[in-house]
Structure 1
Amino acid sequence: MFDLLPCCLLLFGVGLFGCVDSSLLGIGGIKLGELSVNVTTISEIQENQKAEGIIYLEGQVANQAPFLATGAYELQDPTGSIWVITNHTLPEIDDEILIQGQLKFQSIPLGGKDFGEVYIQEQQRLEHKTKKTEPL
């Protein structure tokens, strides 16, 4: 039975990446130890807002919104910005981070039109560079 575990994990991992619309995968790869990931730009997400899947994003924290049990922060890259919902500690404004997240779309129908918004549910923070503060 335990001989099947590695095969199941491999199939599950391939299935997760297979759910991502291949047009969303960025062309810029980042190497994390032995792992290499493709980073998606925020503009690629906004071009195809109803796509779903696991993606990697890199950027700078522009804003934050703390909630009781969770929080959100706005992540910016040179192509745009997007909100990220997290269960982790909120990063500080100006911190630079690389995350793995689940692409989500929240439909908001009003007057026969859809004013939905795409956002990211953070799954894992892979890199985190805190801002440098100067002493007063």
Structure 2
Amino acid sequence: MPKLSHSLAFMKQAQLSAFSLFHQGLVILLVMGLCSCGNGKSTELNLNNLRIGANVTPIREIKPVPDNKTTVYIQGKVEKQAPLVKQQAYQIADSTGKIWVVTNQTNLQVGQDAVFKGKIRYKSIPLAGQEYGEVYLEEE
């Protein structure tokens, strides 16, 4: 009987070892796959593409376009806030610029990082023959 239990223990250890090797190989393949998903310029792992908000539009690229139906994601820090009727407006800044976001969220604080998904809007404000309009994002 001791030989049978020793054989069973050896088989169980061999199965666990094979299972562990399988998982290690799978992890290596996944990492290699992530490394190859780049733009072809480099084979190193680009950690910037692995952060949350990788599809974020830099604020400087947001332009006033009449009747724009495009949905964009922006990410940045809350710099200012302004209460509106049943909504809030937050000025969001990233390293490329600033934009106001109109949202139903009321719990954001100045200095907090935030990500928004919304439509680009433009409000024309003609005053004394000059245009003082502003581009903003309306959260969906």
Structure with higher strand content: 1
Q: Which runs of 5+ in 2 are unaligned?
A: 1-47
Separation in 1, partners of 2:50, 2:116: 12
Q: Which runs of 5+ in 1 are unaligned?
A: 1-27, 124-136
What are the equivalent positions in structure 2 for 1:10-89 lying under 5 Å apart?
38-45=55-62, 48-50=63-65, 52=68, 53-89=70-106
Separation in 1, partners of 2:50, 2:105: 22
Deviation at 1:50, TM superposition (A): 2.1
Counterpart residue identity of residue 65, structure 2: K
Equivalent residue for 1:108? 125
Separation in 2, partners of 1:83, 1:112: 24
Aligned sequence identity (%): 37
**Cα pair distance change 1:115/1:68, threshold 3 Å:** closer
Whether the 8 Å CA contact 1:62–1:93 is kept in 2: the answer is yes
Q: Say which SS state the counterpart of residue 109 (structure 2) adopts.
A: coil
Structure with higher helix content: 2
Whether the 8 Å CA contact 1:73–1:90 is kept in 2: the answer is no
Among 111, 117, 124, the residue aligned to 1:94: 111
CA-based RMSD of the aligned residues comes to 2.2
Structure 1 ranges of 4+ moved more than 6 A = none
Counterpart residue identity of residue 72, structure 1: A
Whether the 8 Å CA contact 1:60–1:75 is kept in 2: the answer is yes
Deviation at 1:90, TM superposition (A): 3.8
TM-score when scaled to structure 1?
0.58
Aligned pair count? 91
